[in-house]
Structure 1
């Protein structure tokens, strides 16, 4: 991680760092819903640190409805390809190892409060 607010997610909050496709599959295939933070370049994208600050607040607000992880810089391009989500920063939500929705860029709090429950209510295709 290259920005202190992104580093904080892994050091202070203990979010795992996903460094490869195996890490992504292992994390997102566990029971429940999962949120993978794809930060993007924090030096070029001023929204990245904002999303890094908002994510722990969202996790706390939704009280255990999902767990969180962060993609490693070196894995980010592959993670975007695997998810089909190319805008960064993005919060990508999974269930049963499949993407069920995403929220790109930083949003107003009210939009998170509307969109996250909608996403979490979705089932992966074929389930």
Structure 2
């Protein structure tokens, strides 16, 4: 991680740095997790702001297990969780998708959004596959 603020999350606060080798094990082991997608802080300086905010969010929502996504693994997961704005926080329950918050938000927005997110039921990862929809209209030959 190129930013001292992001490095602090890993080195001082012991947030795991997730990559292809440890990602699935982490998300399956945490009842609630929040994944921090930083991209390149030089290109997206708001990542440094979120690096300061995230530990405070975890204090407010101690059920969250935070982790930082390795920059070389982020693009693969970006497609899985279907977000287009950096930085991003992705929330999971038992390894399954709840929701995401992108960019820096006001504290009150974080409080309200995360409180709401933690009440959701997990759903299919938004970037995986095409949902199958049954068509209730009879598509027969008109018989």
TM-score normalised over the length of structure 1: 0.92
- Give distance in 1, aligned partners of 2:5 and 2:77: 20
Provide runs of 4+ in structure 1 moved above 2 Å: none
- Contact kept, 8 Å, 2:38 with 2:87, in 1: the verdict is yes
Partner of 1:73: 71
Distance 1:31 1:53, change over 3 A: closer
Provide the secondary structure at the position in 2 that maps to 1:73: coil
Q: Which range moved further: 79-88 or 38-47?
A: 79-88
Partner of 2:83: 85
Partner of 2:13: 13
- Give distance in 2, aligned partners of 1:6 and 1:51: 9
Partner of 2:95: 97
Shift of 1:86: 2.6
Alignment of 1:107-122 (within 5 A): 107-122=105-120
- Give distance in 1, aligned partners of 2:30 and 2:99: 17
TM-score normalised over the length of structure 2: 0.82
Cα deviation code 1:30-49 (max 9, x no counterpart)? 24110000011100112110
- Contact kept, 8 Å, 2:97 with 2:123, in 1: the verdict is no
Greater RCO, CA 8 A, separation 6+: 1
Provide the secondary structure at the position in 2 that maps to 1:29: helix
Structure 2: state its 5+ residue gaps.
125-143
Structure 1: state its 5+ residue gaps.
none
Partner of 2:23: 24
Provide the secondary structure at the position in 1 that maps to 2:51: helix
Provide the secondary structure at the position in 1 that maps to 2:73: helix
* Structure richer in helix, relative to its length: 1
Partner of 1:4: 4
